């Protein structure tokens, strides 16, 4: 991945958070001229993500670190697989170890969780989307990990797409007593399309709301917590009358039901859990004896 200024700042902050002024344990146990070789090993299976981040962390500690990946970014690995070979300044490697492993663990966890969902919907047209349920200040990395896992990114920030959710409808008085003020909403959608060259997505919670909204041809209609029957009704109606409108399923989606949801004909399936609660993948760094 391209390590832009935002990512390099994340790396520097993570190193400062972990090391502080100095790694005093390493400073007083390892002579400054010592060189070592080490291997990063996977303690469980998963999808690999974060190699460039890990390398940048070690090289932030010493420019002369030799970092050789033994697995490719996005590849599958199993327990006890060797992931990276590292050689160079002992102090730099030991002081950068935890930060590098933490990023590998988190990002590989996101990529693995995403791939698990992607594999479940093979053979359908649906795509797995992430959400904004990300770790504060790490969104750019977690969304990258979603792509590595085979998923697709939803909007990056609030200024990159329009998503009118139920709270917007209620707070803006577009929705009262379960009914949408179609006249006001249509004016809002037309105004947004005119001003911004961005996609416009609207969340609906009932089939009646769906019928009220789709006639104004937003880019995407989000079907929040729809039953499988309702999703099929919505996709059939869309296919017949508004084929250009995309449909996104969200809410209550897991590995057990995602394939059935994909089979209803929706275009996207958004899943917050792939970034807000993925299982971290365990890695360890082992210094090689001579």
Contacts of residues 169-176 at CB distance under 8 Å and 24 or more positions apart, as own/partner, are: 169/203, 175/209
Q: Which CATH number applies to 5-111+279-287? A: 3.90.1170.20
Q: 182, 188, 181, 148: which is closest to 49 by C-alpha?
A: 148
Segments of the chain assigned to CATH 3.90.1170.20: 5-111+279-287
pTM above 0.85, yes or no: yes
Q: Which secondary structure element, helix H or strand E, spans residue 185, and what is its range?
A: helix 182-195
pLDDT of residue 169: 85
pLDDT of residue 184: 85
pLDDT of residue 4: 94
pLDDT higher than threshold 80 for residue 197: no
**For all residues of the chain together, what is the average pLDDT?**
94
Tell me the per-residue pLDDT of 109-120, one tens digit each, with 9 for 90 and over.
999 999 999 999
Residues with a catalytic annotation lie at 98, 133, 165, 203, 224
For 146-160, give the DSSP string: HHHTT-B---SSTTS
What share of the chain has pLDDT > 90, as a percent? 82
| Whole-number Å distance between alpha carbons of 189 and 157 | 19
Segments of the chain assigned to CATH 3.20.20.70: 119-276
Q: CB under 8 Å to 44, separation ≥6 — which residues?
A: 79, 281, 282
pLDDT higher than threshold 80 for residue 196: no
pLDDT of residue 23: 92
233 within 8 A of 268, measured Cβ to Cβ: no
Provide the token pair at 48.
Answer: 């690999």
CA angle 239, 256, 271 (to 5 degrees): 65
Tell me the per-residue pLDDT of 138-165, one tens digit each, with 9 for 90 and over.
999 999 999 999 999 999 999 888 898 8
| Whole-number Å distance between alpha carbons of 121 and 241 | 26
Confidence of residue 191 (pLDDT cuts 50, 70, 90): confident
Please give the class, per CATH, of domain 119-276. Answer: alpha beta
pLDDT of residue 186: 84
239 within 8 A of 265, measured Cβ to Cβ: yes
Burial of 262 per CB tally in 10 Å (0-12, 13-18, 19+)? buried
Average pLDDT over residues 195-218: 89
Confidence of residue 232 (pLDDT cuts 50, 70, 90): very high
Tell me the per-residue pLDDT of 8-43, one tens digit each, with 9 for 90 and over.
999 999 999 999 999 999 999 999 899 999 999 999
| Whole-number Å distance between alpha carbons of 233 and 262 | 14
128 within 8 A of 114, measured Cβ to Cβ: yes
98 within 8 A of 23, measured Cβ to Cβ: no
pLDDT higher than threshold 90 for residue 192: no
Which of 71-80, 191-200, 227-236 comes out lowest in average pLDDT? 191-200
Listing from the earlier edge strand, what are the strands of the sheet with 82-89? Answer: 66-69, 82-89, 35-42, 283-287
Confidence of residue 54 (pLDDT cuts 50, 70, 90): very high
| Whole-number Å distance between alpha carbons of 108 and 44 | 11
pLDDT of residue 170: 85
Average pLDDT over residues 81-105: 97
């Amino acid at each position: 991945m391209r390590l832009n200024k935002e990512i390099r700042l994340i790396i520097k902050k993570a190193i400062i958070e972990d090391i502080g002024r100095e790694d005093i344990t390493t400073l007083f146990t390892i002579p400054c001229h010592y060189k070592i070789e080490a291997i990063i090993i996977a303690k469980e299976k998963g999808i690999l993500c974060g190699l460039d981040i890990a390398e940048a962390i070690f090289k932030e500690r010493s420019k002369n670190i030799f970092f050789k990946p033994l697995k490719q970014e996005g590849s599958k690995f199993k327990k006890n697989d060797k992931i990276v070979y590292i050689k160079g300044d002992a102090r730099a490697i030991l002081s950068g170890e935890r930060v590098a492993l933490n990023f590998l663990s988190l990002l590989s966890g996101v990529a693995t969780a995403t791939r698990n969902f992607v594999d479940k919907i093979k053979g359908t047209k649906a795509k797995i989307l992430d959400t904004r349920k990300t770790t504060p200040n790490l969104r750019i990395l977690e969304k990258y990990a979603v792509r590595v896992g085979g998923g697709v990114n939803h909007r990056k920030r609030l200024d990159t797409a329009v998503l009118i959710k139920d709270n917007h409808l209620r707070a803006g008085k577009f929705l009262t007593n379960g009914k949408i003020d179609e006249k006001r909403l249509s004016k809002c959608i037309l105004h947004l399309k005119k001003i911004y060259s961005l996609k416009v997505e609207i969340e609906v919670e009932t089939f009646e709301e769906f019928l009220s909204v789709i006639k104004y041809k937003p880019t995407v209609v989000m079907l929040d917590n729809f039953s499988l029957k309702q999703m099929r009704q919505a996709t059939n109606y869309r296919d017949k009358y508004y084929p250009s409108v995309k449909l996104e399923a969200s809410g209550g989606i897991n590995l057990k039901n995602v394939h059935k949801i994909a089979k209803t004909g929706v275009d996207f399936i958004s899943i917050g859990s792939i970034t807000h609660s993925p299982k971290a993948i365990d890695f360890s760094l082992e210094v090689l004896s001579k």
